[in-house]
Amino acid sequence: MEKIILDGRIVAQEVKDSLVNRVEVLKSRGKVPCLATILVGDNPSSETYVRMKQNACETIGIKSIRIHLPEETNTQDLIRRIHELNNDDTIHGILLQHPVPSHIDERLAFEAIDIKKDVDGVTSAGYGQTAFGFGSYPSCTPSAILRILKYYQLSIEGKHVVVVGRSPILGKPVSALLLNEDATVTTCHSKTRKLPDILKQADIVVAAVGKPEFIQGQWLKDGAVVLDAGYNKGNIGDIDYESCYEVASAITPVPGGVGPVTIATLLKHTVDAAERL
């Protein structure tokens, strides 16, 4: 069986290459696309993610503003800062780095982001529009998963997709996006019974459970397409890569799979927003 390694770095580069001219056109009109990233506290992983996003912005000429708030910031202060960014015409995209400290109401903070600047697809209104098929900025990781499938010309229509995970910014929106592409979607979660039996029926598996090396190769159908959206400590995904590799027909590595395309999608959404605002 021919096996495809779904290299997200190639897909991400294609997306970024397509943005360079669009950014130059905007700049020629006096508008510099700008992404504001909010980091609350000193989570080392979050700091790494923010730095990666800033570096990616710089490579194609997008301005990146980093707002680093102290750990003790409360929900009201965070929302006040978000409203300031909403009202700043030079800011086109707003990203609140997840997770925020536990004393903050993260959902309330997400909802404060203007939907026109919700380039990370975290608001409930944005999710609703995505589910109905007309959202401008679907959540970036779900969008990245679809982009990888389409880049490698892997059929979605009529396929049985099993999504393992139901988070509001990954599992649920990717299920909605795949359903809109005419897949038959089963969304599994921590209360799902006989998960291995369900995975055995899947043509496409999306791992979004947040548990390192959780999904095992013996749970998969021969020839399944496997997309690992997990990113755990030590650059480990949500699948047991070695055992899944033996069974899959196509598989994303970690790192170098879904992650780079997620960041490229964020850049695309920021440029889209700059063109619209």
Annotated active-site residue in 16, 63, 97, 118 = 97
Question: What does the alpha-carbon distance between residue 267 and residue 258 come to, in Å, rounded to a whole number?
Answer: 15
**What sign does the dihedral 252-156-141-22 (CA atoms) show?**
positive
- Identity at 264, one-letter amino acid code: A
Structure tokens given for 112: 């404060």
70 within 8 A of 100, measured Cβ to Cβ: no
For residues 262 and 11, the answer to whether their CB atoms sit within 8 Å is no
The question of whether 120 is a catalytic residue gets the answer yes
Three-state DSSP at 64 gives strand
Q: What angle do CA 213, 221, 234 make, to 5 degrees?
A: 15
Q: Which helix (H) or strand (E) holds 128?
A: helix 124-132
Confirm whether 77 is a catalytic residue: no
Which among 7, 63, 117, 120 is annotated as catalytic?
A: 120
Q: Tell me how far apart the terminal alpha carbons of the chain are, to the nearest angstrom.
A: 48
- CA–CA separation, 28 vs 117, rounded Å? 22
Q: Is 16 a catalytic residue?
A: no
Give the position of tokens 């920021």. Answer: 270
List the catalytic residue out of 7, 16, 53, 129: 53
**Beta bridge pairs of residue 65:** 36
What is the gyration radius of the CA atoms in the chain, in angstroms? 19
Would you please indicate which residues are annotated as catalytic (active-site) residues? 53, 97, 120
